[in-house]
Amino acid sequence: MSEQLRPAPRLAIVVPCYNEEEVFPYCLLELKKLLGGMVEDGLIRPDSFLLFVNDGSRDTTWEQITEAVLGNTCVQGLKLSRNEGHQSALIAGLTAVDGSVEAVVSIDADLQDDINAVRHMVEAYRAGYDVVYGVRENRQTDTWFKRTSAEWFYRVMTSMGIRQVSNHADFRLLSRRALDALLRYSESNAYIRGLVPMVGFASTEVRYARAVRLAGESKYPLRKMVALAMDGITSMTIVPLRLIAAMGFCICVLALIIAFYVVVMKLTGNAVLGWPSIVLSIFFMGGVQMLSLGIIGEYIGKIYLETKKRPRFHVESLIQNDMSEK
């Protein structure tokens, strides 16, 4: 990118956590080793740190985070007052990173994303890139259904004009100016994967192989994946509304053609009396209307939530490595 390398940054690794008591010890150990190794190699500054965000966990996750902070100078903990969801927890962590941090990496606590890719991300940052996406090489660790649904999801999003990186979730590096630009997007229904490409700045990709989850359960079951997809579509594009208008126009044209056909059949004496066609048309139009109202209602609901301008999260406490609590 640039001929002259940027200096080693102060790096923050933000890790949203929700009921991760089983995997947290492994996560802490591996990320500490990663951080220490990069400090030794001169890739990052010695005051770089890990920030674990507790998203209203119901298990012992916060207690383990607290112990980790008290026992390690490179660990910080942020506790939200209630469960707000992965995207809000991630934004809370990014917001809590202070201005002295020059680069921030976000990664999930299950460490299915290859932490060794963080080294390459930092190298790309030092080469001049402001956004570095972690992109999966393949989805072999996923089920057939998840692979297929993910592929169709990215195709649908692309067809609607939404810019996002295929096979990229929330494993990425942002420079300070890219982070500041991202946080200026203040909508309640934030779809971070779609917002980051809108930030602009020089970007690149780091490819990696995704591992299987070592412990605990996935925090993105089918219900949450569908909800995330709906949030992504309705918060990033109005194409569905335009499709409704186009569908209504096509139905009107079809109705005129059928009406003309019925008149011709009546005049020629070939009209066939019966209720199946009537019932079918009623059910068809009823289904179209309900679907259209549902899509429009989803957008109205988003407008309703945005106009309230409610805070996306509330921070209960922030524990830093100087053993002070805010």
pTM over 0.85: no
How much is the mean pLDDT over the chain?
A: 79
* Pair 105, 121: CB distance under 8 Å: yes
* Spans of all domains in the chain: 11-219+311-319, 239-308
pLDDT, one tens digit per residue, over 105-118 is 999 888 888 888 99
DSSP-assigned letter for residue 204: E
Q: What is the pLDDT of residue 324?
A: 43
- pLDDT at 174 > cutoff 90: yes
pLDDT of residue 16: 92
For 42-58, what is each residue's pLDDT tens digit? Answer: 899 999 999 999 988 88
Distance (Å, rounded) from C-alpha 37 to C-alpha 59? 31
Please name the CATH architecture into which domain 11-219+311-319 falls: Alpha-Beta Complex (3.90)
3-state secondary structure of 214: coil
Tell me, what's the pLDDT at 323?
A: 44
pLDDT for the residue 219: 52
Q: How far apart are CA 182 and CA 179, in angstroms?
A: 5
Scored b (16 or more CB within 10 A) or e, 148-187 reads: ebbeebbeebeebebebbebbbbbbbbbbebbebbbeeee
Query: pLDDT-based confidence at 123, cuts 50/70/90?
Result: very high
Tell me which residue of 147, 136, 115, 111 sits closest to 208, measured CA to CA.
136
Q: Which of 133, 153, 292 is nearest to 231 (CA)?
A: 153
Position 76 confidence tier, pLDDT thresholds 50, 70, 90: very high
Burial of 96 (0-12, 13-18, 19+ CB in 10 A): middle
